[in-house]
Amino acid sequence: MNFRSRVVLTVAAAVIGGMCAYAGATNAAADLRVVAESINATLRANHYRPALLQDDRYRQLESDALVLAATAPSDEAFRTGFNALWKQGPFSHVALLRADESADERYARMDTAPGGENAVSLDWQGDAAVLTVTTMSGTDTIEAIELAYDKIAARKPARLIIDLRRNGGGAFAVVPLVGHLIAQPLDAGVFASAAWYRDHDAPPGPRDFPSATPWRGYSLRAFQAQMLAQPLTGYRIDPMQPHYPGPVYVLTSARSVSAAEIAADVLKATGRATVVGERTPGAVLSSKRFDIPGGFHLLVPVADYFSIANGRIEGVGVAPDIAVDADHALDVALGPVSARDR
């Protein structure tokens, strides 16, 4: 047994305790092997850039999934072990999820699914409005951000602090979050799908970005349909009213991922905000759910994202203008100008 296999066995053993398989699931190793084989096949069939699946690191993860299938004591142990392995994977947005409905059924209601009552909060600290957003998904999240900007416009704070330190990404709540801060239409970035890489060996660059088909809107289903049909899809954000013209500070951490990174990048790149905190992890791909045997969904990256200003964010992240521990970022943003802008 090689070292890597021993690691996989250790991961499987570590997730045994306290796990319960959902009703109707099977613990048989033969069935889990079918799950692992389906995962590997689904990734290869739907990944936006198959060339990234040819290196040794990715091939080892395919082998690890098969080893885990042979050793995991339950389907839940397999799921948890697989996700633990992929935390160190060569790219983001791969995850095995529990499924109580088909992927199509999930997408049918995704555009109306709520983000939750804790998705958005607005607080007032001295002369500052502190807008905390913990997800970029949910119609209620979009509505809460709109309402927050109405309150901000009425009160006219001296500065706005947008706290994304616990934002796990999502979909299009980025649009109102950014739209109320800009005065002109903004092309934030470009998504490159498999249709691009079928005809190009290299990623798109600045000369290619103007050819992207613009996307405006909130529907994830409609966005994915366009994105998968086009080589390049542009992420365009229009100005929204009421407009907040004052100073803006965006707080980031290692937990600010995906769409939260897009928001931080575009506000920093346009000069509209000062980013305070930690470098974001660089997990910025667009993913889609696929049905997997055994009652699972698999998240597969189906497009890469390129910032108009800064290029690829995946694996790079967004660097803060003022680098501080995330726990102290709010204090810095609330501090005197000399401390914030040193």
Query: Domains of the chain: which residue ranges?
Result: 3-90, 120-286+302-340
- pTM confidence score: 0.88
Count CB neighbours of 155 within 10 A. 10
pLDDT for 240-275, tens place per residue?
A: 999 999 999 999 999 999 999 999 999 999 999 999
Assess contact for 320 and 341: CB atoms under 8 A. Answer: no
pLDDT for 53-89, tens place per residue?
A: 999 999 999 999 999 999 999 999 999 999 999 999 9
**Type of residue found at 114:** P
CATH 3.30.530.20: does it fit domain 120-286+302-340? no
- Residue 127 CB-density burial (10 A; 0-12 exposed, 13-18 middle, 19+ buried): exposed
Task: Look at the alpha carbons of 133, 134, 137, 141 in this order and tell me if their dihedral is positive or negative.
Answer: negative
Report how far residue 203's alpha carbon sits from residue 215's, in angstroms, rounded to the nearest whole number: 20
Q: What is the pLDDT along the chain (342 residues), one digit of tens a residue?
A: 433 433 343 433 333 333 333 333 444 455 999 999 999 999 999 999 999 999 999 999 999 999 999 999 999 999 999 999 999 999 999 999 999 999 999 888 888 888 888 899 999 999 999 999 999 999 999 999 999 999 999 999 999 999 999 999 999 999 999 999 999 999 999 999 999 999 999 999 999 999 999 999 898 889 999 999 999 999 999 999 999 999 999 999 999 999 999 999 999 999 999 999 999 999 999 999 999 999 999 999 999 999 999 999 999 999 999 999 999 999 999 998 534 454
